[in-house]
Each structure stands twice: as structure tokens, then as C-alpha cells.
Structure 1
Amino acid sequence: MRRIRYDYDTFAGDLHALADSIDGKFDAIVAIARGGMTMAHMLGEYWDIRNVFVVNSIGYEDTKKLETTKVFNVPDLVPFERILIVDDIADSGETLDAVVKRLSARYPDKKFETATLFYKPHKSIVKPDHWLKSIDDEWIDFFWSDDLKRIAEKSR
């Protein structure tokens, strides 16, 4: 599997392009932790949406996919109508699928849309409503996952 380092500058440009491709008229943004957190924060700033929440999920241990995806810490979305769920990548799609199912079951009257930077169409079980780049079998090393580790290693 080819690994690609995804730096901040590329991310910022890509997120801007993704944001411009979406109308942005949401009442709230829900980040899937941890990959969607930086996206949700920046999209909230870009669209001036202060209702930014986090839902937790665990589907991977490092690069190893787990058998089941756990979803927990579901936010209170009662006051909102149109909600964007964001994650960095739809790889297998199981995390995105599990979160959407969990939120839709708890809030059946809400309108949910999904957005990712990356989408693996030949692998993912779900297709995000909005995505920027289609990829195949690459593993993306996002800056938020490895920059702090690299800095710590240099200081030792």
C-alpha cells in the first residue's frame, strides 16, 4: 500500500475547494473524531457556524481495521434541522455508515449530509454526499496524525 503524506497547506487548499463545492447552509456540523475534527473546526469558521460538535468512533487501530465500528458520545442535535457530518476519508466507509445510521436512528426527522476530503469508490460501502478526491488503495498520513510525533522525535 502506497502511503501519502498530506501536509497542512495541501489540506487547507483542498478544504477550501470542498467548502466551495457545498452550499454551506447548515445549522450544525458534526465531526467524526478524530479525522473530521480539524475539518469541522475550519468549516465552522469558514461558514460562520458555531454549532460544531464531535461524535466519537473507533474503526481502526493505527492502519489495522477493526471488526466492528463503535460510535459513542452522540451530541444533542434536537435544535438543528440540516446537519453536515464530516470525516477525513471514506475508506471502507464503515465508520461513516455507522455514524450516519446512529444519528439517523436517534434523530429521524433531521436532514444529514456527509462530506469527506477523500473517497475510495472501489472500497467504500457508502458514497459521501460531498467529497473532493477519489483514491484507490493509498494510505493517507494526515498532518494532524504525524506532525506532532515527528516534532517529538526530533527533540529527543
Structure 2
Amino acid sequence: MIVYPYEEFEKDVKVLAKQIRNNFNPDAIVAVARGGMTLGHFLAMHINTRLIFTLNSIHYNDTAKLGHIEIFNIPELSKFDKVLIVDDIIDSGETMQEILRILKEKFPKIEFKVASLFYKDQALLEPEFKVKKTDEWIEFFWEKI
């Protein structure tokens, strides 16, 4: 397990924001609750947008993977052309793959791209914007209450 402190997060957000600004410049951000919310907020500040939304996904109960994926509270995005989907980590990639499938079906004219702090090699998809590859479980600073 890797403990991911705020100081490292602060540096990594700047790296990620620069990648996004230079290569995509989204009209809006969708943060995947709960893991993507802190990152989504910081990215919105760095790329200077107030157009940030959330959707919910449930694929884990603590560290145990569930047998199904729930995606709900999907925001209305039809007035946008480019939307960035943000999550803290792309683990198996199953959740993000399902989120993309649902969003592309609901909003076929939107270009969606994914940003994540961490991703795993064996994931079903690699985010377009990312900072670190890992094979370990990450304990993010915002998970400590």
C-alpha cells in the first residue's frame, strides 16, 4: 500500500492540469464521486472553470470489489462539446469503461477524455491524462478522517 500525502497531490495536480490545458481544454469537468471529487475541484481551479459536475459510481465496498457497477446521478451535459471525466485512480478500468459507455450513449456528440492521478497497467483503459502508474493500493490523504 502507498500512502499518498497532500504535498505530493499538490505537485501532481499541477502536472495533470498542464497536460489538460495543453491538449484538451474541456468545456466542463465531471468528477466521479467520491474518489474524483477532490481532484476534480483542484483541476477546476487550475484550469479556471466553474463548470464542474459529479456523477456517482459504486464498484467497491471499502477494498472489496463488488460484482456489479452502479452509475447514477448523471449530470445534464448536452450543451458541451468537450468533457473531462476525472477520477483518482483507474484500477481495473471497469468502472470508467462503464461510465464512458453510458455517457457516450446519452451524449453521442460530446468528446470525452479521462484524467486520473494513478492508473494500473492491467486496466481496461489508460486515461488520456495521468501522472503515475502503480500496481499497489493507494491510500489517499482525503480518505483519512
Same fold (TM over 0.5): yes
Matched, 1:132 2:117: no
Q: Which residues in structure 2 correspond to 1:115-154 (within 5 Å)?
A: 115-121=115-121, 123-136=122-135, 138-146=136-144, 148=145
The 3-state SS of whatever aligns with 1:21 is: helix
The 3-state SS of whatever aligns with 1:113 is: strand
Q: Quick check: which has more Rg, 1 or 2? A: 1
Q: Which amino acid aligns with 1:20?
A: K
Q: Which runs of 5+ in 2 are unaligned?
A: none
TM-fit CA distance, 1:48 = 1.0
Aligned residue in 1 for 2:8 = 10
Work out the CA distance in 1 between the residues paired with 2:91 and 2:67: 14
Q: Which amino acid aligns with 1:118?
A: F
Count of aligned residue pairs for this structure pair: 143
TM-fit CA distance, 1:126 = 1.2
Work out the CA distance in 2 between the residues paired with 1:7 and 1:98: 29
Work out the CA distance in 2 between the residues paired with 1:21 and 1:81: 19
Aligned residue in 1 for 2:54 = 54
Work out the CA distance in 2 between the residues paired with 1:132 and 1:9: 15
TM-fit CA distance, 1:63 = 0.5
User: Which runs of structure 1 show a deviation greater than 6 angstroms over 4 or more consecutive aligned residues?
Assistant: none
Work out the CA distance in 1 between the residues paired with 2:10 and 2:26: 20
TM-fit CA distance, 1:127 = 1.3
Work out the CA distance in 1 between the residues paired with 2:115 and 2:25: 14
**Residues 81-138 of structure 1, C-alpha deviation per residue, up to 9 Å, x if partnerless?**
10000000000111111111111110011000001110101x21111111111112x1
**Residues 14-66 of structure 1, C-alpha deviation per residue, up to 9 Å, x if partnerless?**
11111112225110000010111011111111111111000100010001111
Percent of aligned positions with the same letter in both sequences? 45
Q: Which residues in structure 2 correspond to 1:94-109 (within 5 Å)?
A: 94-109=94-109
Work out the CA distance in 1 between the residues paired with 2:101 and 2:82: 16
Q: Which amino acid aligns with 1:16?
A: K
TM-score (norm 2): 0.95
